[in-house]
Amino acid sequence: MTALIIAIVVVALVAVWVIGTYNRLVRSRNRVRNAWSHVDVQLKRRYDLVPNLVETVKGYAAHEASTLNAVIEARNAAQAAGSVDAQAAAEGGLTGALRHLFALAEAYPDLKASGNYRTLQTQLDEIEGDIAIARQIYNDTTLTYNNIVETIPTNLVAQLSNFASGAFFEVEDEGRSVPRVDL
């Protein structure tokens, strides 16, 4: 009889642990999704600003169509990205294209003096800062989630419940590099 009670208690403790661990995994995964939604909001703000910036530059530098088209193509690719890895790669391309656009603007003093251009550039700088903060929060949340998913003993419940590690949102080197200006 004592052995049966001990077995029931052990099974109950294991069941409570599994349920608690599963709930912890769900809460952590939901935090990652929430953090990504904050990144997504900031990226959408950026996407909405890019066409206005391109139109402003187009008025001053219409003959620089290849640079303007590259920015629009990079924006469209970033909007169409599906996974976090694809989004990171596309964002790196967009950041690089925008840097080339700003480098191009250096050659047009009238454009740099334009109030509309300066306002858009200031807004974009603010959005870039917001994206960096949201990306850091997302990556920190993903790190916490990945630690839960990959460490023993919670990885046992994670594997049985199909919880997979999350991807970090890391910008490609192209987006981090400073463009070379050759006038």
pLDDT value at 160 more than 70: yes
Is residue 179 scored above 50 in pLDDT?
Answer: no
In percent, the amount of the chain with pLDDT more than 70 equals 93
Over residues 114-145, the pLDDT tens digits come to: 888 889 999 999 999 999 999 999 999 999 99
Mean pLDDT for 84-113 is 88
Tokens of 136: 């850091």
Please tell me the predicted confidence (pLDDT) of residue 183. Answer: 37
Least-confidence region, from 6-20, 91-105, 147-161: 91-105
Whether pLDDT at 176 is above 60: no
172 pLDDT tier (thresholds 50, 70, 90):
low
Q: How confident is the model over 33-83, as pLDDT tens digits?
A: 999 999 999 999 999 999 999 888 888 887 788 888 999 999 999 999 989
Average pLDDT over residues 96-123: 87
pLDDT band at 84 (very low <50, low <70, confident <90, very high): very high
Angstrom distance (rounded) from CA 135 to CA 154: 26
* Residue 106 clears pLDDT 90, i.e. is over it: no
Cα dihedral sign, 145-150-156-159: positive
Helical packing angle, 115-150 and 2-60, nearest 10°: 160
| pLDDT, tens only, 23-43 | 999 999 999 999 999 999 999
- Torsional sign, CA 12, 15, 21, 23: negative
**pLDDT over 90 at 5, yes or no:** yes
Cβ proximity of 104 and 94 under 8 Å: no
Cβ(78)–Cβ(174) below 8 Å: no
Q: Which residues of 125-145 are buried (b: 16+ CB within 10 A; e: fewer)?
A: eebeebbeebbebbbebbeeb
Task: Return mean pLDDT, the chain.
Answer: 90
